[in-house]
Amino acid sequence: MWQKLALCVTASTLLALAGANSGAAELQVTVLPAQGPPLAGVVVDVVPQSPAPASRSAARAIMDQHDLMFVPDTVVIRTGATVEFPNSDNVRHQVYSFSPAKNFQLSLYDSTQHASVQFDKAGLVTVGCNIHDAMIGYIYVTDSPWFGQTAADGSVQLHGLPPGHYTVKVWHARLRDKAGSLDQSVEIGTANAGVTVRLRQPLKSAQHNHGSSRQWEDY
């Protein structure tokens, strides 16, 4: 059944850190559907107008392969992070992507251990398996340090945002709205700042169904 979403973004200085000059705030983003339960797994990317602070560590993420699916099917990371693709199935997989943000191909393997892949360019990377065409995963790579995915209650809370101007971006594989059409501006550091966005298009139907034949462009 098609659903429509309401994205409610509320920004305020919820927490002033104890440091003398920090002035950092928290930002809570909540995704609320018009009907039914909240939508979990929505990528939230909060992009500052000013240059973001440099990353202090080489972050890592995991996208496993289980029951002929990528688990989780969506991973969000900061530019420069690496992703591991262990294989927990009892069959071999060959992970690859031809997305502009990252073009790579791993050799055919059946082990939980495999060389990790570094993602050094921001953008959306669609990942597939050369052996099982229905396996589709997504890696959302952002230059911003403030990102996350909504939990079961439809919300995500981001910490440590300095006062300033930001653009809130959201992404999900089932959204039909054009990329960028939901972007919203928000000013952090003014009381009760907020913005509400409502989708104009219904959600796509779920695509993962254990091995059915679909074309890449269906995703």
Q: Is residue 213 part of a domain?
A: no
Q: Is residue 157 part of a domain?
A: yes
With cut-offs at 50, 70 and 90, classify the pLDDT of residue 74: very high
Q: Mind listing the pLDDT tens digit for each residue in 7-48?
A: 333 333 222 233 323 567 888 888 777 666 677 898 999 999
Global pTM value? 0.82
Residues 91 and 24 in one domain: no
- Over residues 169-185, mean pLDDT: 87
Residue where one domain finishes, among candidates 121, 142, 163: 142
Domain count for the chain: 2
Residues 65 and 138 in one domain: yes
- Domain of 44? 5-52+151-198
Tell me how far apart the alpha carbons of residues 79 and 125 are, in angstroms, rounded to a whole number: 12
